[in-house]
Amino acid sequence: MKQLVSIPSKWLLSIGAYVALLSIASAQTFASDITSTAHQARVKDIATIEGIRDNQLVGYGIVVGLQGTGDSQQTAFPTQTLASTLLRMGVSVPAGAIRVQNLAAVFVSATLPPFSRPGTKLDITVSSAGDARSLEGGLLLMTPLYGADGKIYAQAQGPLVVGGYSIGANGNLKQVNHPNTARVPYGGIVERAVPLDFAEQRQFSLLLNDADFRSAEGVASAINHAVGRTAAHVVDSRRINLSAAGGEEVPAFLAQVESVEVPVFPRAKVIVNERTGTVVIGGTVVLQPVSILHGGLAVNVVSEFQVSQPNAFGRGDTKVVRQTSVDALDKPVNRIELKQGATVDDLVRSLQTIGASARDVISILQAMKSAGALEAEIEVL
């Protein structure tokens, strides 16, 4: 038979208050953990407004005035381009009679910013399309720049600014940077505007640069708090719908939205560039306890060719003899131990202690990810 224990009512009140305090403390701890993993950023730095975007332009033209560093005679399209250009100017010259050492065929690219009007000047980039050695000292002739719809949006022309040079003589070549690519500051002029009118529009979409539901909810809440009404509504992990109030000026509303500081919860990422050996580890990366053993075996095979010369009165023949030597070096195993609560700084210091190279760090990080000791996404560039 079970025995019932009676608890005074004042004790029940104390126990209830204690449980309530525990709940409040747990909620505060959880909130502090959330705040510690987030950082503040402006909306304009982490998101864009749909429809307000750049547009890429491209064109094909010729650069003249080079000092013998243009395309060679084997490149056919520069001569054809020059012949057609001269024909439009009333000069008929056969393409085979044109020498192209002082000109180069190039592709011209530019970016058309939003709300650009006719007359707006653009910076353009010029890149050689043939086998020209250098564009230094060249002049870009008038080149139309086309958009994705095939329409002309800008015209480009002007002297080139090259950030390098290439000099060659008697088979010797000296080159600095990339002289086949140049820029023309304010060399493009907008001729056609992209239609974009916000006068009657009241609905907009805010697109986050990095899709994340938690960040999207934080952005919507911060915007609603800043404007004092429900103006933002989360659609998915990247899109947030915005609605301007009746009679409210759209530029002022969007300016207020872009200036709002919001909490951002970035993904834990490790960026790896295999080509350059660069590794960037984010501060939100979490490491689990792990023991790493790292060593290496280097085998070098060296071949040398020696000439076997007989004596002066010998009857032997002179021969080339190949001497091969094999050398193996087995490095001792290095050990790294990461305990509970280890940080990215601890990992980097440990890797530096054992003298790990960038390639070794990349291999170790990939192995840690496979073992479940690295709670982050590895992105290989």
Q: Look at residue 24 in the predicted model and tell me its pLDDT.
A: 35
Are 250 and 244 within 8 A, CB to CB? yes
Q: Look at residue 18 in the predicted model and tell me its pLDDT.
A: 35
Averaged pLDDT, 156-181: 74
Averaged pLDDT, 176-184: 82
Q: Look at residue 33 in the predicted model and tell me its pLDDT.
A: 43
- Position with higher pLDDT, 330 vs 76: 76
- Band (170; pLDDT cuts 50, 70, 90): low
Residue 82 in this model has a pLDDT that exceeds 90: no
pTM for the model stands at: 0.64
Distance CA 193, CA 361 (A): 50
- Band (169; pLDDT cuts 50, 70, 90): low
Helix (H, G, I), strand (E, B) or coil at 183: strand
- Band (8; pLDDT cuts 50, 70, 90): very low
DSSP string across 271-316: EEETTTTEEEE-TT-EE--EEEEE--EEEEEEEEEEEE---TT---
Q: Look at residue 184 in the predicted model and tell me its pLDDT.
A: 93
- Position with higher pLDDT, 348 vs 333: 348
- For residue range 347-360, list pLDDT tens digits in order: 777 777 777 777 77
3-class secondary structure per residue, 217-246: HHHHHHHHHHHCCCCEEECCCCEEEEECCC
Q: Look at residue 174 in the predicted model and tell me its pLDDT.
A: 62
Q: Look at residue 32 in the predicted model and tell me its pLDDT.
A: 40
At residue 275's C-alpha, the angle toward residues 274 and 276, to 5°, is 95
Q: Look at residue 332 in the predicted model and tell me its pLDDT.
A: 67
CATH of 197-264, one of 1.10.287, 1.10.8, 3.30.70, 1.10.10: 3.30.70
Instruction: Name residue 123's beta-bridge partners.
Output: none
Hey, which bits of 78-138 come out as E strands?
103-112, 121-128
Averaged pLDDT, 334-339: 73
Q: Hey, what amino acid is at 225?
A: H
Residue 12 in this model has a pLDDT that exceeds 60: no
Mean pLDDT of the chain: 77
| Token duo for residue 80 | 């054809």
Beta carbons within 8 Å of 132's beta carbon, 6+ residues apart:
66, 69, 70, 71, 104, 180
Residue 17 in this model has a pLDDT that exceeds 60: no
Averaged pLDDT, 163-187: 73
Q: Which of 23-32, 210-219, 338-347 shows the lowest mean pLDDT across its residues?
A: 23-32
Distance CA 163, CA 105 (A): 19
Distance CA 194, CA 116 (A): 7
Among residues of the chain, what percentage have pLDDT more than 70? 76
Averaged pLDDT, 170-174: 60
- For residue range 249-263, list pLDDT tens digits in order: 888 899 999 999 988
Averaged pLDDT, 322-349: 70
Half-sphere exposure of 354 (CA within 13 A, CB side): 23
- What are the Cα distances from residue 326, in Å, to 132, 144, 260, 295, 322? 46, 62, 66, 20, 13
Q: Hey, where are the domains in the chain?
A: 55-190, 197-264, 270-297+330-380
Q: Which of 54-58, 108-112, 171-175 shows the lowest mean pLDDT across its residues?
A: 171-175
- For residue range 260-316, list pLDDT tens digits in order: 998 887 777 888 887 777 778 776 777 777 777 766 555 555 656 676 777 766 666
